[in-house]
Amino acid sequence: MPTSAKPQDLRNAPPPSQTRENRAPRILAADDQPHILEAIELLLHPQGYRVESATSPAEVREALAADSYDALLIDLNYTRDTTSGQEGLDLLSEIVALDSNLPVIVMTAWGNVGLAVEAMRRGARDFIQKPWENERLLAILRTQVELHRALQRAERLAAENRLLQIEGRPDFIAAAASMQPVLEAMARVGPSDANVLITGEHGSGKEVVAQTLHALSSRASRPLVAVNTGALAEGLFESELFGHVKGAFTDARTDRIGRFELADGGTIFLDEIGNVPIRQQAKLLRVLESGEIERLGSSRPRKIDVRVISATNTDLQAACSSGQFREDLLFRLNTVEIHVPPLRERREDIPTLAIHFLRRYASRYRREIEGFDSSALQFMAQYSWPGNVRELEHTLERAVLMCRGHEIQPADLGLNLQRPQAQNLEELSLEAVEALLIRKALQRFQGNISQAAEALGLSRGALYRRMEKYGL
C-alpha cells in the first residue's frame, strides 16, 4: 500500500511505485530444523513474501539489529531434545521490549496449548501449531503484515501531524492510488487563489480537502469560514452570508456581520452548494462577480477579498440542464474541480484511518485501547461503508465506548456485513427504521437534500441533523 501523504509534501510525493509499502513484505523465520525453514520459504515465496532464515535466538538478534521486518515467525525450542519453550519465550520477550509493534507469530508443537497461551501473554500476536495449515498461516501473516504497516503509517502520520498542528494545518490521510489525482490537484491549486469545486459522496472527506487547500494557500494565516449552505433556511440565507443591519427585519435588533465578511482575506467554504435555492443563486453569483457584498437592509457595498471553495454531492451539470442550478454560477465556482472518491474505492486507507480515529477517541474518552483484533480489521476491510469516512469515524467512536478490553473486537463496531435487500421493519429499532428511510430517500433523489427532505416531510436542517446522527 502507498504511504500516507502529508500536505507539505504534496509537491514532491513519490508515485505509488516508489513508496516503501509497495515492497514485498519481509518475514524473518526462525527454527533450528532446516526442513521447517525450507517449507516456510516454499509456501511464502510464491505469495510475494521475502523470507530470511535464522536457526537460533542469536541469529534472530543479529538479523533484527541489521535490518527491519514486517513480521517474525519463530519457533519456541532451539536446543535438541528441549521442549520447555523457554528459549523462544525469552526471545519473544526481548523482541517485544525492542519493538512492541513488530508482529511475532510463534510456532508450537501440536497440542501444546500452554506454551501458546504464555506466548500470547508475553506479546505474541498469534500462534500456529506444527504441522500447520497453509491457509491459516497465510491468513495470519496477511492480517499481521497489513496491521503492522498501518501502525507504521499511523505513527508517521502522528509525528507529521504534531508538526502540522504547530503550523495550524489539518490532518490529511491519503494513501490509496485512487487518491493520487486528488493530491496532485491540491498540490497545483492549493497555493493559488483559484475557486475550487469539490465533488464526492456524503462523508467522503470534502471538508478536509477544503481545509488542506486553505492550509496550502497564502491565506493560511487568515480565517477559513465554513457554511453549510444547504442547511440554511431560505429566509436567513442573505443574513447568514452577507450580514444585516439593525432593523432590516423584525428580529434584527443589532447589526450582524455575515460569513463573507468574516472570511475577508481568507477562504469561505460553501458546503452543499448544490442545494442552494435557485432564487438565492443569483445573489451569490452577484457577490462572486463583483467582489462586493451588501448587508441586508443596507445600500452601502463592502469590498471583500475572499477565496471560494465549494462542495457538493450532486451532479451540478445535470442540475444545470434541468434548470435547478445556474450555469453561470457553476462557471464561477469550478475554476478547478476536485473529485474525492468514496471510501469503498480507497480501501487501502481504511486501516490508517481506523487507527487515526481510534487514537483520537481513546484519548478523548480516556480509554486504554491498544488496537484492533485481527478479525475486526478484516471486518472493516470487507464492509461497504455507505457513509464513507464519516461513518468510519462514528463507528470508531462507538467502538471505543463499547470496547471492554484492550483491543477493538468485531462486535464493538456494530456493523452488519450482510445487509438484506428487504428488511422486516418489525425487527428494527425506531432509529434503524428512520436511518433506513433516510438512506432510501437520498438514493431515490440521487443525494438531492431538498427533494429528499420534502419527501420525508422534514426541513433541510432537520434532515441534515439526522444524517449527521446516523453517519450518512
> Given this model, what pLDDT does residue 345 score?
92
- Phi/psi at 308 (5° precision): -110, 120
Mean pLDDT, rounded, for 196-200: 95
Domains of the chain: 22-144 (3.40.50.2300), 177-339 (3.40.50.300), 343-413 (1.10.8.60), 425-469 (1.10.10)
Q: Rounded to the nearest 5 degrees, what angle is found at the Cα of 396, between the Cα atoms of 382 and 269? A: 100
At 116-145, the pLDDT tens digits run 888 888 888 888 888 888 999 999 999 899
CA distances from 215 to 59, 204, 211, 264, 346 (A): 49, 19, 6, 16, 23
What DSSP designation does 158 have?
Answer: H
Which string of DSSP letters, residue by residue, matches 270-324? EETGGGS-HHHHHHHHHHHHHSEEE-BT---EEE---EEEEEESS-HHHHHHTTS
Q: Tell me what percent of the residues of the chain surpass a pLDDT of 90.
A: 37
Q: In terms of Cα–Cα distance, which of 406, 409, 354 is closest to 147?
A: 354
Q: Are 269 and 224 in contact (CB under 8 A)?
A: yes
User: Residue 207 has which C-alpha cell?
Assistant: 471538508
Mean pLDDT of the chain: 82
> Given this model, what pLDDT does residue 164 score?
43
Query: What is d(CA 264, CA 287) in angstroms, rounded to the nearest whole number?
Result: 13
> Given this model, what pLDDT does residue 434 score?
76
Mean pLDDT, rounded, for 351-370: 92
Please check the confidence at residue 458 and state whether its pLDDT lies above 90: no
Q: In a 10 Å sphere around its CB, with 0-12 CB exposed, 13-18 middle and 19+ buried, how is residue 258 labelled?
A: buried
Number of Cβ within 10 Å of residue 35's Cβ equals 8
Torsional sign, CA 450, 454, 458, 463: negative
Task: Select, from the ranges 2-6, 186-190, 238-242, 309-313, the one with the highest average predicted confidence (pLDDT).
Answer: 309-313
Residue 455: half-sphere exposure toward Cβ, Cα within 13 Å: 16
Side chain identity at 358, as an amino acid letter?
A: L
Mean pLDDT, rounded, for 221-235: 85
Please check the confidence at residue 469 and state whether its pLDDT lies above 80: no
Predicted TM-score (pTM) of the model is 0.60
Q: Is 445 helix (H, G, I), strand (E, B) or coil?
A: coil
Q: Rounded to the nearest 5 degrees, what angle is found at the Cα of 9, between the Cα atoms of 8 and 10? A: 100
Q: Are 213 and 196 in contact (CB under 8 A)?
A: yes
Provide the β-strand partners of residue 127. Answer: 106
- SS3 of 412-436: HHCCCCCCCCCCCHHHCCHHHHHHH
Query: What is d(CA 195, CA 430) in angstroms, rounded to the nearest whole number?
Result: 42
Q: Please list, in sequence order, all residues whose beta carbon lies within 8 angstroms of the beta carbon of residue 337, skipping any fewer than 6 positions away.
A: 196, 197, 198, 199
pLDDT band at 19 (very low <50, low <70, confident <90, very high): very low
Q: Check residue 295 and give left, alpha or beta (phi > 0: left; psi -120 to 50: alpha).
A: beta
Cβ-count burial 218-232 (b if 16+ within 10 Å, e if not) = ebbebbbbbbbbbbb
